Homo-oligomer: A and B are copies of this chain.
Amino acid sequence: MNKLETLPYRGARDFYPKDQKILNYIFNIWREAALESGFEEYNGPFLEPFDLYAAKSGEELVKEQLYSFEDRGGRKLAIRPEMTPTVARMIAAKSKSMIKPIKWFSIADFWRYEKPQRGRGREFFQLNADIFGENSVLSDFEVFTLGARIMEHLKAKPNMYEIRVNNRLFMDFALEKIVGFSSDRKSIVMRLIDKKNKMAPGEFEKALVDSAKATGTQVQKLNELLKFDLNNVRKLADENRGAKELTDFFELAKKSDYAEIFVYDPQIVRGLDYYTGLVIEQWDKNPKNNRSMYGGGRYDGLTDLFAGAEPLPATGFAMGDLTLINFLESWQLLPQFKNETAALVTVLAGFTQNSVSISETLRKSGIKTELYLNDGDGLDKQIGYANRKEIPFVLIIGEKEAKDGKVMVKNMATGEQTACGLTEMNQILDTLWKA
């Protein structure tokens, strides 16, 4: 038989313990910040009926990026490429009996068939945080500030990132009333705006003419719109609900702890089709890494797609692990993760049982303990193992210790050895390790 490859599938990641520590660090902060804001954790299946994505997830995602296949019973399935359709389905199923607003978050993994590159893999993890059943601007503010609070927990400073805000309703209004695009052109233009940042100079204007049949005046007016500031928007607040929401949002933001974080940006429209109001994108301000990290926004009415469901307003965002890890690395915000094991209990032939008992005692008092696993190895080799694994204390039980009912505690940093009783040993480890 041919030998197997040890590489993972392209775009997938193996998380060795040092990588998993980074993930856990991020997951713990995601969870902690979301719980602090009163969000409740949920999760959904990794596989969903294909139709769930066909409905609203956007053409690129479904036609090019979805992993879909038939199960052994001929049922068409897809691996989830995002959480929003799942959470909308779950809410639609039970919202009538739930207390609203519903504030939910999840931490889950997703797959998209994309070309792997820096900050993008085929498998990725996301925090999804959403509020269902409330359409106030305050609920958008609440969910978007969770993003900022997470960044604060991760020790990011306002010079490192910003959250750019726009409104789909406003863009819809402005593209028609200010720029003069007819309804059927607007979604094409919206998609071009979403990609503008990745285009070469002139390419955007060319695409507007080619795909959206824009006139010269329209190109010019659109470029003016894309330079709007909040003053321009505020003047339209009486005419358009989207402009009013933007005005109210920044009223809240500028008096909050996150005044520096939120900025108005008319170029933010988001790629997915289901957004209906305020939208955000978080950007890394690092000149070497200046790019969008994650996004979100209001998507009222997604639950309407489901049989028997009540229509519910909704707003949320999804923050991925890949761009976040790049961000934390480039700003040097990742902590040093220390070895978690406090003690190695050695095993000497004839006294293995004593060592097993001691390791159990330590573990029961919550001290992270390794038991050496081969009593055929000499003590030097066992101590060497503790040294290489950076375990700070070694406990030795030989003939003398067993007879005296004691344990020899060796402090690996100082080399000091103390023979002590069990209670004393527990105290030493507890005190020294926690120090």
Contacts and interface: CB of A to CB of B under 8 A. Distances in A.
Interface in A194-243: none
Contact of A356 (B20, B252, B375, B388): B252
Interface string A71-106: 110010101000000000110111000010101100
Interface residues of A, number: 101
A307 B6 contact: yes
A6 B89 contact: yes
A261 to B, nearest CB: 13
Given A17-B41, A46-B46, A47-B123, A252 B353 contact: yes
Q: Is the interface of A mostly helix, strand, loop or mixed?
A: mixed
Given A3-B306, A48-B8, A94 B353 contact: no
A255 B9 contact: no
A37 B77 CA distance: 40
Nearest to A372: B138
B17 A40 contact: yes
Interface in A345-383: 347, 352-353, 356-357, 360, 363, 366-371, 373-376
A37 B369 contact: yes
Interface string A315-353: 000000000000000000000000011001001000011
A23 interface: yes
So how many copies of this chain end up in the complex? 2
Contact of A373 (B45, B136, B370): B136
Contacts of A276: none
Given A17-B40, A55-B1, A256 B356 contact: yes
B138 A9 contact: no
Contacts of A64: 72
B51 A4 contact: yes
Contact of A352 (B79, B252, B257): B252
Return the 6 tightest CB-CB contacts between A and B, nearest first.
A38-B370, A12-B45, A69-B69, A6-B93, A3-B307, A17-B40
9 contacts: A14-B90, A35-B368, A36-B367, A37-B368, A38-B369, A46-B46, A46-B123, A139-B373, A252-B356
